[in-house]
Amino acid sequence: MMEQNMVLENKLIQDDCHLKCKQNLISLFDESTAEYFLNPSSCLKEIPPWFSQLKDDMKGIDIFVSTDE
């Protein structure tokens, strides 16, 4: 019985974290983009146009990473 309660509690925590993560992604992007990131099979789907555009926009950006501490 105690193990079942722990499993249920863990499931509720997972669901809450998933919901909060989804809400945060939606606030940053939009619902379809949030679903893309949250869906484990999204890598099997066609690359969405917004992602292709983002990659194209970033091609001209030079990124410098300093190794100085």
- Quick one: pLDDT at residue 24? 92
- Quick one: pLDDT at residue 66? 65
| pLDDT (tens digit per residue) in 44-59 | 567 778 878 888 888 8
- Quick one: pLDDT at residue 23? 92
- Quick one: pLDDT at residue 69? 60
Q: How far apart are CA 21 and CA 54, in angstroms?
A: 22
Q: Domain limits of the chain?
A: 2-58
- Quick one: pLDDT at residue 7? 86
| pLDDT (tens digit per residue) in 19-37 | 898 899 999 988 888 888 8
CA distances from 14 to 19, 46, 51, 57 (A): 9, 28, 28, 35
